């Protein structure tokens, strides 16, 4: 039995967390296995290459020095296998090189950490407090995330956002554009605490961030400035349809900049607005009645359900009926587009779902962010989110929309060929 009564005390900043250590060791092992599998595949692809004396040309050549990659479980050490091309000098630009895709050169932190940093910034954590905050999350060995490193990252994000705002759009076209104004809880330096966002659907059916800026949600001037900026940078072809809530500022600006573009009101916002004008006892039934409208298989059936709602609720709840009836045409515009797209067109969900994480993870801090800094942080979060956006359903219908094909009740209208006139033979 040991008589040693020396007790090892934890050092400040250390946490005796066996689970974290297990996760870190597991991450290290999985990363090593992934890199080894990639190098084995690389060598297999070059197995047929031989040197002049008949030996294998591309072979393993030890490992590079270990480096740490910062991940969600803290720093994870990894050694990258080294590959040698026996037929080329080290300085030969044509020599065969190995660079694992899972572990790019000079990568020091994972993509999840790149996303974490702007979130913390939006939460009001100052540059000088990042080291302490990250040490609590990732451990005291969170190397490379000092105040100066955070400052350099922030400067880089500002430059990336500026370059993105000035990008050429002349080769771009968007069939649909969703618009919304998102209020962040992070305080900005002036009163414009709304982020105006545009997300578009390309002719290939992919969603892209088109533009965003700070502004007032109901301000037609701020929306107009954003739309005109896109036009000046080359976005000359207007979208076929824009989807937004009832913000009058956007619709006024869109009507001036894109006068021929169809309008679709968001059914989620409209349902909430109508329900708010009814007593709680009537709300469940009214919600079902509204659902019967936008879930109808045809526009004619939707019109009947629409009329039924107005007739039922006008006598006692005129404000609710008027709230619905005033946007009748723009609520039913989606019926003139492919049925596969309806679930995407009835709501501004592409924007709402993207900003849900941003909105919920930002709080009002004692200080405030400059508008330029806040926009750069939001840009980085959107850039990360954009990589996971999935393709829209019915993407094969987009080329038809680009060509101007007409749809009725979601089905393509086949133009009938013009009857040929009989040709009379000359006498």
pLDDT band at 62 (very low <50, low <70, confident <90, very high): confident
User: Percent of the chain scored above 70 by pLDDT?
Assistant: 66
pLDDT band at 389 (very low <50, low <70, confident <90, very high): confident
Please report, for the chain, how many H helices and E strands are present, in that order: 15, 11
Helix (H, G, I), strand (E, B) or coil at 369: strand
Pairwise CA distance, residues 179 & 358, whole Å: 17
Contact status, residue 163 vs residue 178, Cβ threshold 8 Å: no
- Number of Cβ atoms within 10 Å of the Cβ of 181: 22
Which residues are CB-contacts of 344 (< 8 A; sequence separation ≥ 6)?
176, 201, 350, 392, 393
- Number of Cβ atoms within 10 Å of the Cβ of 403: 8
CA 46 to each of CA 32, 33, 34, 136: distance values in angstroms, whole numbers, following the listed order: 21, 20, 19, 45
- pLDDT score for 143: 46
Q: Which residue has the higher pLDDT, 40 or 217?
A: 40
- pLDDT score for 68: 64
Pairwise CA distance, residues 95 & 85, whole Å: 6
The gap from C-alpha 129 to its chain's centroid, in whole angstroms, comes to 28
Contact status, residue 200 vs residue 176, Cβ threshold 8 Å: yes
Burial class (CB in 10 A: 0-12, 13-18, 19+), 342: middle
pLDDT band at 265 (very low <50, low <70, confident <90, very high): very high
Which residues are CB-contacts of 384 (< 8 A; sequence separation ≥ 6)?
111, 114, 115
pLDDT above 50 for 75: yes
Q: Which residue has the tokens 């100052």?
A: 126
pLDDT above 50 for 423: no
148-172 per-position pLDDT tens digit: 666 777 777 888 889 999 999 999 9
Give the chain's mean pLDDT.
78
109-118 per-position pLDDT tens digit: 554 555 556 6
Contact status, residue 396 vs residue 402, Cβ threshold 8 Å: no
Contact status, residue 109 vs residue 72, Cβ threshold 8 Å: no
pLDDT above 50 for 325: yes
**Start-end of H helices in 196-340:** 220-232, 248-257, 267-275, 283-294, 299-313, 318-325, 328-331
pLDDT band at 89 (very low <50, low <70, confident <90, very high): confident
- Number of Cβ atoms within 10 Å of the Cβ of 191: 7
pLDDT band at 25 (very low <50, low <70, confident <90, very high): low
pLDDT band at 402 (very low <50, low <70, confident <90, very high): very high
Pairwise CA distance, residues 369 & 350, whole Å: 26
Tell me what the mean pLDDT of segment 11-32 comes to. Answer: 52
What is the token pair recorded at 379? Answer: 């840009």
- pLDDT score for 114: 56
- Number of Cβ atoms within 10 Å of the Cβ of 106: 5
pLDDT above 50 for 12: no
326-338 per-position pLDDT tens digit: 999 999 999 999 9
């Amino acid at each position: 039995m040991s008589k040693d009564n020396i007790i090892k005390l934890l050092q400040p900043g250390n946490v005796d967390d066996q689970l974290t250590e297990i996760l870190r060791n597991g991450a290290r092992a999985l990363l090593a296995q992934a890199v080894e599998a990639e190098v084995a595949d690389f060598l297999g692809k070059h197995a047929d290459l031989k040197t002049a004396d008949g030996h294998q040309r591309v072979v393993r050549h030890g490992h590079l020095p270990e480096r740490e990659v910062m991940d969600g479980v803290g720093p994870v050490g990894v050694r990258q296998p080294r590959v040698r091309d026996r037929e080329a000098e080290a300085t030969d630009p044509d020599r065969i090189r190995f660079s694992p895709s899972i572990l790019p050169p000079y990568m020091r932190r994972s993509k999840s950490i790149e996303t974490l940093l702007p979130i913390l910034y939006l939460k009001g954590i100052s540059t000088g407090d990042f080291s302490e905050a990250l040490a609590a999350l990732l451990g005291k060995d969170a190397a490379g995330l000092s105040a100066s490193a955070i400052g350099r990252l922030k400067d880089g994000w500002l430059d990336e956002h500026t370059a993105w705002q000035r990008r050429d759009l002349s080769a771009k076209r968007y069939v649909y554009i969703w618009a919304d104004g998102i209020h962040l809880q992070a305080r900005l330096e002036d009163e414009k605490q709304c982020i105006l966002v545009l997300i578009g659907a390309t002719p290939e059916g992919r969603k892209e961030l088109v533009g965003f800026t700070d502004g007032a949600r109901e301000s037609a001037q701020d929306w107009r400035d954003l739309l005109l900026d896109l036009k000046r940078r080359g976005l000359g072809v207007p979208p076929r349809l824009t989807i937004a809530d009832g913000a009058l500022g956007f619709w006024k600006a869109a009507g001036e900049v894109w006068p021929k573009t169809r309008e679709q009101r968001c059914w989620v916002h409209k349902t909430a607005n109508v329900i708010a004008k009814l007593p709680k006892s009537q709300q469940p039934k009214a919600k079902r009645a509204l659902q019967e409208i936008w879930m109808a298989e045809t526009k004619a059936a939707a019109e009947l359900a629409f009329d039924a709602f107005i007739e039922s609720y006008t006598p006692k709840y005129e404000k609710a009926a008027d709230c619905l009836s005033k946007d009748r045409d723009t609520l039913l515009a989606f019926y003139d587009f492919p049925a596969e797209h309806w679930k995407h067109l009835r709501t501004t969900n592409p924007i709402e779902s993207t900003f849900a994480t941003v909105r919920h993870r930002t709080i009002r801090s004692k200080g405030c962010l400059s508008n330029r800094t806040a926009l750069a942080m939001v840009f980085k979060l959107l850039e990360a989110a954009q990589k996971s956006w999935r393709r829209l359903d019915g993407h094969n219908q987009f080329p038809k929309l680009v060509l101007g094909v007409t749809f009725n009740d979601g089905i393509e209208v086949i133009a009938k060929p013009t009857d040929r006139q009989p040709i009379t033979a000359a006498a």
